[in-house]
Amino acid sequence: MGGSLALSLKKFEYVEEIVGCDHNELHQKEALKLGLVKKFVPFEEVKHYDVIFLAIPVDGIIDSLRRLTDVDEDTTIIDLGSTKAKIVQSCPDTIRRNFVAAHPMTGTENFGPSAAIEGLYENKVVVLCDLEASGELQQKVAKKIFKSLKMKKYFMGAREHDRHAAFISHMPHAVSFSIANTVMNQEDKNNILALAAGGFRSMSRLAKSSPYMWEDIFRQNKDNLIEAIELFERELSMLKNAVKEEKWEEVHKIMEDGNRLYEIWD
C-alpha cells in the first residue's frame, strides 16, 4: 500500500519530497532500489514532514499515533488501515485534529516494496471515517490527495465501516485461509498443482496475505468478524444440508440467490 502510494504521489507537482521510515533493512534497500522514496529517515524525523502516511499493520498505527503527539498543528496524519474504530478511539486527543482515518479499498494479497503497483489507487474507493473530528486543514489536504489519486470518496462512521469491512473484506480473508488449510490437510501438493484450477486459485488467493497484518486486523475487529463468520457458517450449513438431503431445487435456489450479487456489480 505504501509503495504503491509513493509511486503515484511522485507524479504530483505539489509533492516536493517523499521519504520512508521502516525498521526492516531489506525493505529499505528494496524500496530505494525501486525508487519508491528518496531516502529513509528515523521515526523522530518523520514528525517534521507536512503529511505522514501510516501504511503499516493496524496495531502499529495505534503505536505510531501515540508517538506523534508532538507534531506541528498543521501536520496531517493519514492512516491506511483496514480497521477504523479502535484506531480512532486510540488516537490521542492532542492530535485528533491532525488525524484523518482513511481506508483505501484496494490492494493485493502481496506485500513488501516489490508489491508496489503504479495506479493501484486509481478509480478505487476510499472510505474517510469520522472526518468531522479532523481539522479543517487536514480535511482539505486529505481530500486533495485522494482526488489527485482519482479515488472515489465515501464518508461514514468508524464503527459502521468496521461492520461493513468484516463482511466485505475480513470474513472473506478468514474463509480463504480456511480453504487453503482444508485442502493442504487433505491433498498432497502434487495433486494440488495438477488439479487446482481457476476456482480454487480464486478462492485461496487471499491466503497469500501477510499473517502478521491480518492477525492484527482480526484482533481489532473481532466482534464484527465473528458475527460475519457465524452468518457465513449458517449459509454454508443450509447449502450443505440441501445437498446432503438431495433437495436439488433448494440447492439451485441457493445458488441462484447468490447470482444476484453480480446484478449489483454488472
Cα separations in angstroms, 142 against 1, 93, 97, 193, 249: 16, 19, 12, 45, 51
Higher pLDDT, 199 or 77: 77
- Over residues 55-77, the mean pLDDT reads 96
Tell me the average pLDDT of the chain: 92
- pLDDT tens-digit series, residues 208-226: 898 999 999 999 999 999 9
- First and final C-alpha spacing in the chain: 27
Q: Where are the beta strands (DSSP E) in 91-218?
A: 99-105, 125-129, 152-156
Confidence check: pLDDT of 106 > 90: no
**Amino acid in position 257:** D
- pLDDT tens-digit series, residues 27-42: 999 899 988 989 999 9
Question: In this structure, how many other beta carbons lie within 10 angstroms of the beta carbon of residue 241?
Answer: 12
Cα–Cα dist 38/45, whole Å: 14
pLDDT class of 266 with cuts at 50, 70, 90: low
Instruction: List the single range of 4-18, 74-88, 195-209, 225-239 with lowest mean pLDDT.
Output: 195-209
- Domains of the chain and CATH, by start: 2-156 (3.40.50.720), 161-265 (1.10.3660.10)
Cα–Cα dist 42/118, whole Å: 26
Q: What is the pLDDT of residue 54?
A: 97
Question: In this structure, how many other beta carbons lie within 10 angstroms of the beta carbon of residue 112?
Answer: 14
Higher pLDDT, 260 or 266: 260
